[in-house]
Structure 1
Amino acid sequence: MIPASTTPDNRCDEIHLMKRIAQQDQSALSQLYDRYARVIYSVAHKSLGSVEECEEVVLDVFAQVWRTASRYDPARSRVDTWLFMIARSRVLDRLRGVQRRGKVTEAVMAPDFSHTQAPPSPSEHAEIAERRTQVLNALQQLPPEQQQVLEMSYYQGLTQREIAAQTGMALGTVKTRIRLGLEKLRSALHAESWDSV
């Protein structure tokens, strides 16, 4: 799949989109997302192979674009090149995280152990159950609107467009709520893991 920015006109358009994003224009971010989310997902999937991890990479990339668009320099790289550099960095972060978490996280991500090599040991089972409880508790602390979109995405397996269609929310609102919900979940789980040390 070839990114849309291969023509000079598209490159100029994307530089303009970046300027609008730098001014906190959500519709510009949505346009850039629509152009690149699928290809970034595909690139991430080749390394990660997990739907959840790949979706998080895509969300992380566009959250970083939102935060750092003002630092984008068209003289240094094209927009697509910049996006793929961010995506590569996020994929490497995820791979390192997967290696650190090892078998326990793998089991949490796939609670029906039928396709894993060996069932978890009793201590791994206890860790999985504890982690699952922590995740559910952290999820309960989120505002209901963020809880709803995360549950639809991760438990029902719906795409962001499907969530928007089912709920009647704007796609940008769904994306924002998922991003904010994931950030709050990460913070809550990180704080809880430090509290338990």
Structure 2
Amino acid sequence: MEGLSRADRADDAALLAGLAVGDAAAATAFVRRFQRAVFGMAVSITRDPALAEDVSQEVFLRAWRAAGTYDLRRASVLTWLLTISRNAAIDAVRARRATPVEDEILDRLVQDTLTAVPEQEETALNRIESERALRTLHSLSPPQARAVVLAVFGGCTAAEVADREGIPLGTAKTRIRDGLRRLRDREEADHA
């Protein structure tokens, strides 16, 4: 079970295409298929189930608005949707955050992410995507992986990453940029 079959990816893309043209049945099936993954991503970032519910609704709204721009060749629908989920959750956390996240919380987030093992109750599809993401993240050097986790999951700016890691701002930006590029390239290679 290395990845989704072409048929599964095409079925997901067909649901997304139905969502794009306003097909109510396709929209319902789309939400049902991906709601656990979206909510799981949102709650893992926000650490607040109520906020995660709001984020999930926003994610499906964004997906509906952007459905026409989806390109099956770039990533699976789940990967695309989880990217939207991650961005929406980070936006929600940043909007709520009155003070910067404490160092202890960020350290725990980095540690939890880098040592994460998919849960037993995850669906096979979610497990495959989670395992692929973790393998890809583990392919980065530890400093690069920390910078990516702090920026992507921790919602830190490059300046905050530089401050936390005790490195120059340019180095933090390079680690984040290069790490994200390597993750994207690996994802594209996996889906080629």
State TM-score, norm by structure 1. 0.46
Point out the structure with max Rg over C-alpha.
1
State TM-score, norm by structure 2. 0.48
Higher RCO, 1 vs 2 (CA within 8 Å, ≥6 residues apart): 2
Higher-helix-fraction structure: 1
